[in-house]
Each structure stands twice: as structure tokens, then as C-alpha cells.
């Protein structure tokens, strides 16, 4: 233990480094390194309280920007907030030079190995790599042999986890070569840090990160086939359930690429196409975040639902480039680390500048025996990562477990490695208002761009939450940090915009909205509108309920019952109030609360809010910052309010008002910030269809049957409130409240944005404007349907609609019109899905199950 000479109230005087462990602030010396001292002094002058405030502010920003990290197997609480510690890792410019050149060299080496393994296989033929090491790694994909295309470099993106050992040297812990994640998180961390510690950041000269992303873009353009100048680049994601989905969406938005899932792409004529609303559009480069073996169900894993059948064929023909190429996960084989020094000499005639952590591959008899003899002091890892395959610390095993491991190694030695157990360096971290040492791992990012590899000057630093813990990962709940590489002079800001050459005219990109995104937009519209309709109805019900309670008027009560039954209709939560005993409807509290709160019941507010959020999250990349904030706001505030265990009827009105405010904010933002292109048409079509359906549902349930006069007046008034039309009605028709007038306003008045006529008219316009291969002069099926609905409505008159059938007291014509319009709307919705959401078409694998024989 050693005490710090700095005295401040952050608690650095209690900063207790551990004997034998390298600490970043001290670097094995007695005194704190000068640049750390400056930084800590700045923190010190800020004070504990202030620092804690800044930390919270950082958390708030991250949360609002929707920075999340999904944890596998946790579908209930899918997104976990990203945690950022405001104390960064500082790296001096002298040291950075070493790290940078080491990473470049390593990327270069791995690139050559990749090229050889899938090309000439000289390394195998010369005995520089044993075939067992290559072939028994699941990352070696047989179909990819010979599939690498003519590119200067094949390993476009590379990432390594580094840690500092006790001697102060940086070690590479592992190599990430297939679809490295983290660069987006690093960028977001930086963005937040510059906002919460602007003063310190300004005083410290820190290298900027944006240059790296510019290089990434250039690197991706470089590999585009046929030297296309302005290639279409897409990011292929496994979808919103993936752990780093936030980053996929974030990078897509930041770099201006289309975010796609496998179903959004198709292979035709040996080329890759994006299925967009306006037809197929050629794709040149895929930035891949799907594991390679899942990328093509025809050539690779047939059970994969994340890939594109025929993708590898398109690669072989040189029609698409993938970063990183399919098969590159073979480089993530940890056994390779044992061979890198030799391969560095073979390929580069040089020694490794950044050593790997000492690794013994058990596929060689001497190494195997060594590992078996030293099980207690080594970490044993299977070469294939995967379910149930993880690293074990030999020393922490029981003797029984150790015996099992030993026999596993002996049975298939080539599948295991032993690694030295290294204690990583510590660095200061803000933990519970105190600065404490924590073990850290640094992830760096490298990209091939132009003639060289380029390293992001910075990276993603992560520390374990617990003390003395060497397992530092996000799945295990680690905390992230920004990484500040100190510059000798200030960096100039780099803009991501490319400068057009003089007089070059740039074509505006047509809106490449994928059909999946269109589908989600449509449902964002529908779910939100449904939420709004239910909220409005419920607010009116609660007011009425209160009146019944206070005045005990029988008409109030009858009206309340009509509204409650309507609620069941609108939410589709049968039998609800429609078939129930008297007590159930007299004391509706339980059912009302359930309709607000239940997560697992279809039609409840919570279920609708969840569905809205899921659909919006699936297209995270399409929303503007502000819009996303409002999405997040709706979901989070609702969650906070209703997760209260003893939710009572009395609390509901304020919760519902709050929800309405959120909805209105989203609606306002979207209508102000979205261009009137395909995205908007989809979102608003969903909204209009749902609004029309909800309106019809309310009207049918409240007004289709005749009520006696006093009740009728009450019901009509309630309907006007529910549809937000009371003020307009009063202004227009003064004090008379009559069924024909109400119907005139709510059904036929196409100037009233809440009327049925308005919804249908908008739908007519939207559907007509959707891109589609039309025959001249011919309407599409969905256009015909919606036109019919529109026309039917316009052809009816209020007098006819309000003719009551004296036998059963039903407004026959009205009921018919409503029922027909509902059918037409549902059919329209289905046709839209069929025509535009083609990704929903499922694929099937056709293979003869057994090779039957007759003998």
C-alpha cells in the first residue's frame, strides 16, 4: 500500500494501489505522472459533489441518446443503460506511438495470414501453421476458400483488447477480426465527455476521434467492387435483440449508411440488392455485424435466419465487398497467438512490437504437457468460443472439475490453449463517490484506409465494477471509460463531409427505405395512435366514474357503462365489460387498472406502449436525436409511473395526462422533422388507419343503438370529448347536441382532422404517393380499396344514417357503413403489408433428408 502525495477531497489520498500491480497514474514510480497529476488536480478543484453531478449528467445524456447494451437472455429488461465513468484513461503521446505502431503491424500481419489461409495456404504447406489449428477452428469456413477478392487489404477493420502487465508493458489479450464492436460506443463516450467535462477536456490536448470514422468510410469506399466512386454501403445487423444493436443504429446514422437485416437484402443475378419501397437497389459494400457463419444460409449455416441466401456467391463473383470478409473469424482463434512471433518474422521479417499474452496451444505435445502440468496457474480456453465454451481459471477449479478439464484436454488437445494469468494494471475510477483503483482493459480500433492501417487515437476502456476483478466485460456488467490520447499540439477538427470536386453535382440519394423499416414505421404509427385512442377514452371514463361516485345519477351511470363497454371494444380485451356480471361493471377499478398496467395482456396501454417502443427501437437509425428522445421519454416515464405496485384509480388521470403529453410531443416532432417521403407516408398511413379504426369502434359501440334522450345527450358529449371535438362542435353548432350533427362532424367533415372522412382522404393521398410499379391509368389493389371506402362515405347522407330500425333500435345504415369501412381498412392494411413489407415472406430450406438406398 502506498499513499498519494496529492491531497484533495475526491479521495485520492485514499487511492490505494496494490503491491505488485502496475497503476496507470504511477507507472511503477513513487510520484504520480505529471499529466495524471494535472488531470487529478483539475478533478480535485471540482470537488466530489460536483464530480458526482457530472457523472449523473453523463448518465442522463447517455440514457437520453438511447445508448444501451443488450444483455443476452434478458428479454424482459432488454436494454441496459451504458455506464460511463467520467475519469478517462490517459495515454501519453510517447506511449501512444508504441501502441499505434504495434497495432498497425499486427493488423498487417493478420491481414497476410487471412489472405494465405483462404488463398494459397503456404503457411500450412510450409508447416508454419499446423492444419489442426486452422481446420478445427469454427471460424475456418471451407466454402470461403478462394473467395477473397482482389483488394489491397482484406482485413478492413481490426480491433484488439490490450492490457498492461506488471512490468508496464502493453499486452494483446485477444484479436477481434470479424465484426469488431465498440467504436461507436467510444465515439458516444467522447461526445458525452466533452459535454460533461468541457473545461478539463479543453485544457487537456486530446486527439479527436472523427478522423478515424472518416478513414473508415474511405476504407469501405476503397473496397467497393468495380472501383465505384459513390458506392452504396449498408450495415448488416442481426437486429434489435443483438447486444450492440445501439451501435449498429448509431453508426448507420453517423455515417449515413442504411441499416439492414438479412431479410432486407436479396441476391439476384449474382448481385446483392436492397429491398426498398421503391424497388431493388444495388448494394456494393456491406459493413457486417453478423457473425460470418450466419451470413448465408445457402452456403454456410443453413439454420440461420440472419443472412442472405447466395451472398457468398455474389462475393465470389466480385459483385459485393464485405468488411470484414466472410471467414475472417478464423483470425480470432486464440491458438494463433502462439504462432504470431514466428509468422511476423516470416511475413514481415520483424519481431512483434506488441506481444500477445503468453499462449500455449495444446495441439503440440510439449505444450499440452506443459499446460497439464501447470493447470493451477494458467487460464485454459477452448479455441472455439460458444455456448458453454469459456475460459476457466485452472486455480479456481475443484479437483473434480480439474480432472474433467484434464481429460477433455487429453481427448481433443488441439481444441484448447493455456494462457498465462496476468494481473492487469489499475487506473482510477469513480466508484460510489470515491476514486478507487480498478483493473482495466483497453479496446482499440484499426481500419485499413488508403495505403496504410489507421488506428483510432483513443478507444474503449472498460473497468470491472468490483475490485481485483480481471473479468472485464459488458456482459458481466463492467463500466466504460473514455480514452484520452494526449496530443503534443491540438488536433484540427475533421468533418465527415467529403468535399465535392469543383463543379461536381451530387445526385440526391433516393430514400432507400427498406421494407422492414417501412413495416416498423407503419406499426409505430398504428401502436401510438392506438395508445392515444385508449388514453383519451380512458380519461373520459375516469371523469365520468368520479361523477357517478359523487352525484349518484342513474344517467351518469348508464353513460359510464356505455363507455366502459366501448373501452372493451376499442382495446379488444373481451369479454371485459361486455359480458360480465353487474358487480364487475359497478366496480370497474380492477379491470381499469389491468387495462392500464398489464404487460402480458394484449390491448392494454402498457402493451401498446411497449409495442410502440419495440417498433421504434427496431429503426433507431431513422429517428432524429430529438425524436428518439421523445420515444424514450414516452416509454421510460410510463414505465416509471405504472411500475408502482399499488397503482390506484386516483393516480390514473395524471399518468394519462403525462402519457398524452409524450404522445403529442412525438407526433409534433415527427410531423415537423420528417420529409414527406416514403418514411413519412408509412408512419402516417399507419396512424391514419388506426385512427379511423378506433373512431369507428368508438362510434359503433356508443351510437349504433338508440338511447333515450338524456342518456343520448351524455353519450354524444362524451364521444365529442373522446375525439377531441367538443370545442369545434360547440363553436359550430352552438348549444344543440344531436346525433345527425355529431355524425356530420365526425364522419363527413373532411376539414376536421379527427373525422373519418379526413383519415380516408389522407390515406387515399398517401397510398397514391407510395412508390410502385404502376401500369398507366390503373389503380393498385390497395388504391382501389381505399378509394371505395372514401367514396362510400361521401355518398351517404346523415338523414339516412340516422334512420332507426324500430324493431331493435339500431341505426341500420350507420352500422352497415361502419362495418363495411372497417373491412375495407383491414384489407387495405393487409395489401400494404403484402406489397411493401416483402421481408415478411419467409424462406425455407429444401434439402433431401437422407441419402436413401435400396440395397
Smallest gap from residue 330 Cβ to another protein (A): 13
Burial 453-476 (b: 16+ CB within 10 A, else e): bbbbbbbbbbbbeeeeeeebebee
Nearest to 528 by CA among 640, 675, 460, 627: 627
Considering only residues 553 through 612, tell me which ones interact with another protein, judged by CB under 8 A. none
Cis-peptide into 575, omega within 30 deg: yes
Is the separation of the CB atoms in 324 and 288 below 8 Å? yes
Residues 6+ apart with CB under 8 A from 840: 263, 519, 833
* β-bridge partners, 279: 276
Residues in the interface with another protein (CB under 8 A) total 66
CB nearer to another protein: give 25 or 378: 378
Q: What is the dihedral of CA 109, 115, 116, 120, to 10 degrees?
A: -160
Smallest gap from residue 362 Cβ to another protein (A): 11
Considering only residues 208 through 247, tell me which ones interact with another protein, judged by CB under 8 A. none
The DSSP H or E segment spanning 285 is strand 285-288
Smallest gap from residue 165 Cβ to another protein (A): 9
CB nearer to another protein: give 297 or 457: 297
**Binder to another protein among 80, 353, 374, 813 (CB under 8 A)?**
374
* β-bridge partners, 272: 267
Q: Own/partner pairs for 174-177, CB < 8 Å, 24+ apart?
A: 174/332, 174/334, 174/337, 175/106, 175/110, 175/331, 175/332, 175/336, 175/337, 176/332, 176/443, 177/110, 177/114, 177/324, 177/328, 177/329, 177/331, 177/332
Q: Which residue has the cell 505435445?
A: 365
Q: What is the dihedral of CA 487, 490, 494, 500, to 10 degrees?
A: -120
β-sheet with 279-282: strand ranges across: 265-268, 271-276, 279-282
**Binder to another protein among 216, 221, 298, 609 (CB under 8 A)?**
298
Smallest gap from residue 266 Cβ to another protein (A): 7
Give CA–CA dist 558/218, Å, rounded: 69
CB nearer to another protein: give 171 or 612: 171
**Binder to another protein among 53, 97, 145, 348 (CB under 8 A)?**
145
**Binder to another protein among 56, 126, 202, 794 (CB under 8 A)?**
126
Smallest gap from residue 356 Cβ to another protein (A): 8
Decide if residue 379 touches another protein (CB under 8 A).
Answer: no
Segment interacting with another protein, rule: CB under 8 A, options 362-370, 428-436, 559-567, 590-598: 362-370
Smallest gap from residue 176 Cβ to another protein (A): 21
End-to-end alpha carbon distance in the chain: 79
CB nearer to another protein: give 299 or 703: 299
Decide if residue 404 touches another protein (CB under 8 A).
Answer: no
Smallest gap from residue 182 Cβ to another protein (A): 26
Is the separation of the CB atoms in 86 and 40 below 8 Å? no
Decide if residue 364 touches another protein (CB under 8 A).
Answer: yes
CB nearer to another protein: give 420 or 750: 420
**Binder to another protein among 128, 280, 578, 647 (CB under 8 A)?**
128
Smallest gap from residue 372 Cβ to another protein (A): 12
Decide if residue 709 touches another protein (CB under 8 A).
Answer: no
CB nearer to another protein: give 303 or 807: 303
CA distances from 361 to 116, 118, 132, 416, 554 (A): 21, 22, 11, 6, 84
**Binder to another protein among 223, 309, 326, 592 (CB under 8 A)?**
309
The DSSP H or E segment spanning 526 is helix 515-551
**Binder to another protein among 92, 204, 205, 270 (CB under 8 A)?**
270
Considering only residues 749 through 808, tell me which ones interact with another protein, judged by CB under 8 A. none
Considering only residues 322 through 361, tell me which ones interact with another protein, judged by CB under 8 A. 338-342, 355, 358-361
**Binder to another protein among 284, 291, 292, 313 (CB under 8 A)?**
313
The DSSP H or E segment spanning 426 is strand 426-431
Residues 6+ apart with CB under 8 A from 438: 426, 427, 428, 429, 431, 463, 464, 465, 467, 479
Smallest gap from residue 22 Cβ to another protein (A): 14
Angle between helix axes 605-617 and 515-551 (nearest 10 degrees) is 160
CB nearer to another protein: give 791 or 841: 841
CB nearer to another protein: give 581 or 854: 854
Give CA–CA dist 744/652, Å, rounded: 33
Decide if residue 135 touches another protein (CB under 8 A).
Answer: yes
CB nearer to another protein: give 299 or 464: 299
Smallest gap from residue 381 Cβ to another protein (A): 16
Decide if residue 841 touches another protein (CB under 8 A).
Answer: yes
Decide if residue 420 touches another protein (CB under 8 A).
Answer: yes
CB nearer to another protein: give 411 or 506: 411
Smallest gap from residue 119 Cβ to another protein (A): 12
Decide if residue 20 touches another protein (CB under 8 A).
Answer: no
* β-bridge partners, 671: none
How crowded is the C-beta side of 415, counted as CA atoms within 13 Å? 16
Is the separation of the CB atoms in 833 and 840 below 8 Å? yes
Cell of 675: 420529409
Smallest gap from residue 27 Cβ to another protein (A): 19
Decide if residue 292 touches another protein (CB under 8 A).
Answer: no
CB nearer to another protein: give 131 or 653: 131
Smallest gap from residue 112 Cβ to another protein (A): 17
CB nearer to another protein: give 242 or 266: 266
Give CA–CA dist 672/685, Å, rounded: 16
Decide if residue 75 touches another protein (CB under 8 A).
Answer: no
Smallest gap from residue 228 Cβ to another protein (A): 21
Q: What is the dihedral of CA 730, 733, 735, 739, to 10 degrees?
A: -100
Question: Which one-letter DSSP state was computed for residue 175?
Answer: E
Decide if residue 316 touches another protein (CB under 8 A).
Answer: yes
Q: What is the dihedral of CA 275, 841, 249, 217, to 10 degrees?
A: -30
Decide if residue 412 touches another protein (CB under 8 A).
Answer: yes
Nearest to 817 by CA among 739, 748, 765: 748
CB nearer to another protein: give 11 or 130: 130
Pairing of strands 233-236, 285-288: parallel
Nearest to 182 by CA among 478, 624, 428, 450: 478
Is the separation of the CB atoms in 716 and 737 below 8 Å? yes
CB nearer to another protein: give 64 or 138: 138
Smallest gap from residue 781 Cβ to another protein (A): 17
CB nearer to another protein: give 356 or 604: 356
Smallest gap from residue 778 Cβ to another protein (A): 20
CB nearer to another protein: give 218 or 374: 374
Decide if residue 280 touches another protein (CB under 8 A).
Answer: no
Segment interacting with another protein, rule: CB under 8 A, options 73-81, 546-554, 784-792, 843-851: 843-851
CB nearer to another protein: give 188 or 332: 332
Decide if residue 267 touches another protein (CB under 8 A).
Answer: yes
Which residues of the chain form contacts with another protein (CB under 8 A)? Answer: 124-132, 135-136, 142-143, 145-146, 266-270, 297-299, 302, 309-310, 313, 316-317, 338-342, 355, 358-361, 364-367, 369-370, 374, 377, 411-412, 414, 420, 841-855
Amino acid at each position: 500500500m502506498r499513499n498519494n502525495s496529492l491531497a484533495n477531497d475526491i479521495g485520492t489520498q485514499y487511492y490505494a494501489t496494490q503491491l505488485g500491480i502496475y497503476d496507470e497514474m504511477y507507472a511503477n514510480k513513487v510520484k504520480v505522472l505529471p499529466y495524471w497529476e494535472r488531470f487529478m488536480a483539475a478533478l480535485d478543484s471540482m470537488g466530489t459533489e460536483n464530480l458526482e453531478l457530472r457523472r449523473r449528467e453523463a448518465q442522463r445524456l447517455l440514457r437520453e441518446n438511447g445508448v444501451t447494451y443488450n444483455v443476452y437472455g434478458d428479454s424482459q429488461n432488454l436494454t441496459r443503460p451504458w455506464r460511463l465513468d467520467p475519469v478517462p484513461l490517459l495515454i501519453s503521446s510517447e506511449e501512444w506511438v508504441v501502441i499505434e505502431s504495434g497495432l498497425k503491424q499486427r493488423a498487417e500481419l493478420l491481414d497476410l495470414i487471412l489472405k494465405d489461409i483462404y488463398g494459397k495456404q503456404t503457411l500450412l504447406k510450409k508447416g508454419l501453421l499446423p492444419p489442426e489449428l486452422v481446420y478445427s477452428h469454427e471460424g475456418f469456413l471451407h466454402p470461403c476458400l478462394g473467395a477473397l477478392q482482389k483488394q489491397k487489404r482484406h482485413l478492413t477493420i481490426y480491433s484488439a483488447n490490450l492490457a498492461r502487465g506488471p512490468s508496464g508493458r502493453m499486452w494483446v489479450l485477444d484479436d477481434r477480426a470479424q465484426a469488431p464492436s465498440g467504436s461507436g460506443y467510444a465515439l458516444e463516450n467522447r461526445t458525452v465527455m466533452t459535454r460533461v467535462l468541457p473545461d478539463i477536456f479543453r485544457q487537456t490536448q486530446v486527439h479527436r476521434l472523427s478522423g478515424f470514422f472518416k478513414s473508415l468510410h474511405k476504407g469501405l469506399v476503397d473496397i467497393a467492387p468495380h472501383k465505384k466512386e459513390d458506392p452504396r454501403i449498408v450495415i448488416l445487423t442481426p437486429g434489435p435483440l443483438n447486444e450492440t444493436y445501439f451501435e449498429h443504429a448509431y453508426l448507420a446514422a453517423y455515417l449515413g449508411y442504411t441499416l439492414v437485416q438479412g431479410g432486407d437484402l436479396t441476391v439476384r443475378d449474382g448481385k446483392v440488392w436492397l429491398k426498398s419501397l421503391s424497388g431493388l437497389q444495388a448494394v456494393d459494400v456491406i459493413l457486417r455485424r453478423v457473425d460470418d457463419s450466419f451470413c448465408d444460409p445457402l452456403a454456410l449455416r443453413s439454420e440461420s435466419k440472419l443472412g442472405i441466401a447466395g451472398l457468398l456467391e455474389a462475393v465470389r463473383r466480385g459483385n459485393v465487398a464485405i468488411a470484414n470478409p466472410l471467414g475472417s473469424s478464423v483470425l480470432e482463434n486464440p491458438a494463433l497467438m502462439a504462432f504470431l512471433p514466428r509468422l511476423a518474422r516470416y511475413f514481415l521479417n520483424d519481431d512483434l512490437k506488441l506481444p500477445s499474452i503468453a499462449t500455449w496451444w495444446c495441439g503440440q505435445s510439449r505444450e499440452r504437457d506443459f499446460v497439464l502440468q501447470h493447470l493451477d496457474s494458467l487460464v485454459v480456453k477452448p479455441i472455439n468460443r460458444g455456448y458453454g465454451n469459456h475460459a476457466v481459471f485452472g486455480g479456481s477449479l475443484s479437483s473434480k472439475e480439474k480432472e474433467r478439464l484434464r481429460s477433455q484436454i487429453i481427448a481433443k488437445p488441439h481444441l484448447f490453449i493455456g494462457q498465462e494469468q496476468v494481473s492487469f494494471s489499475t487506473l482510477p475510477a469513480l466508484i460510489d463517490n470515491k476514486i478507487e483503483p480498478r483493473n482495466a482493459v483497453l479496446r482499440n480500433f484499426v481500419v485499413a484506409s488508403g495505403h496504410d492501417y489507421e488506428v483510432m487515437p483513443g478507444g474503449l476502456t472498460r473497468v470491472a465494477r468490483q475490485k481485483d476483478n480481471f473479468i472485464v466485460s459488458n456482459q458481466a456488467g463492467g463500466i466504460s471509460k473514455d480514452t484520452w490520447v494526449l496530443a503534443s499540439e491540438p488536433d484540427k477538427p475533421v468533418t465527415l463531409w467529403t468535399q465535392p470536386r469543383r463543379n461536381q453535382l451530387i445526385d440526391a440519394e433516393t430514400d432507400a427505405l427498406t421494407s422492414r423499416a417501412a413495416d416498423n414505421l407503419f406499426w409505430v404509427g398504428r401502436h401510438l395512435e392506438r395508445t392515444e385512442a385508449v388514453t383519451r377514452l380512458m380519461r373520459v371514463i375516469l371523469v365520468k366514474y368520479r361523477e357517478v361516485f359523487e352525484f349518484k345519477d342513474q344517467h351518469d351511470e348508464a353513460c359510464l357503462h356505455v363507455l366502459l363497454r366501448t373501452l372493451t371494444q376499442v382495446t379488444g380485451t373481451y369479454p371485459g365489460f361486455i359480458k360480465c356480471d353487474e358487480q364487475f361493471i359497478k366496480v370497474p377499478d380492477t379491470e381499469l387498472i389491468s387495462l392500464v398496467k398489464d404487460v402480458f395482456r394484449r390491448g392494454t396501454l402498457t402493451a401498446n406502449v411497449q409495442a410502440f417502443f419495440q417498433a421504434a427501437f427496431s429503426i433507431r437509425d431513422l429517428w432524429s436525436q430529438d425524436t428518439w428522445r421523445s420515444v424514450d421519454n414516452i416509454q421510460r416515464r410510463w414505465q416509471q409511473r405504472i411500475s408502482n405496485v399499488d397503482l390506484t384509480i386516483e393516480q390514473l388521470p395524471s399518468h394519462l395526462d403525462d402519457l398524452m403529453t409524450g404522445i403529442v410531443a412525438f407526433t409534433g416532432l415527427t410531423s415537423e422533422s420528417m420529409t414527406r417521403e416514403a418514411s413519412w407516408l408509412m408512419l402516417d398511413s399507419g396512424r391514419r388507419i388506426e385512427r379511423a379504426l378506433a373512431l369507428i369502434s368508438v362510434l359503433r359501440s356508443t351510437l349504433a343503438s338508440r338511447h333515450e334522450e338524456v342518456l343520448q345527450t351524455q353519450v354524444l358529449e362524451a364521444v365529442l370529448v373522446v375525439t377531441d371535438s367538443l370545442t369545434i362542435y360547440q363553436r359550430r353548432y352552438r348549444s344543440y347536441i344531436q346525433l345527425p350533427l355529431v355524425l356530420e362532424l365526425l364522419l363527413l367533415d373532411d376539414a376536421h382532422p379527427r373525422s373519418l372522412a379526413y383519415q380516408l382522404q389522407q390515406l387515399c393521398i398517401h397510398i397514391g404517393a407510395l412508390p410502385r410499379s404502376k401500369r398507366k391509368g390503373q389503380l393498385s389493389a390497395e388504391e382501389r380499396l381505399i378509394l371505395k371506402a372514401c367514396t362510400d362515405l361521401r355518398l351517404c347522407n346523415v338523414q339516412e344514417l340516422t334512420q332507426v330500425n324500430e324493431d331493435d333500435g339500431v341505426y341500420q345504415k350507420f352500422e352497415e357503413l361502419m362495418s363495411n369501412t372497417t373491412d375495407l381498412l383491414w384489407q387495405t392494411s393487409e395489401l400494404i403489408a403484402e406489397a411493401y413489407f416483402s421481408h415478411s415472406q419467409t424462406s425455407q430450406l429444401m434439402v433431401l433428408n437422407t441419402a436413401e438406398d435400396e440395397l
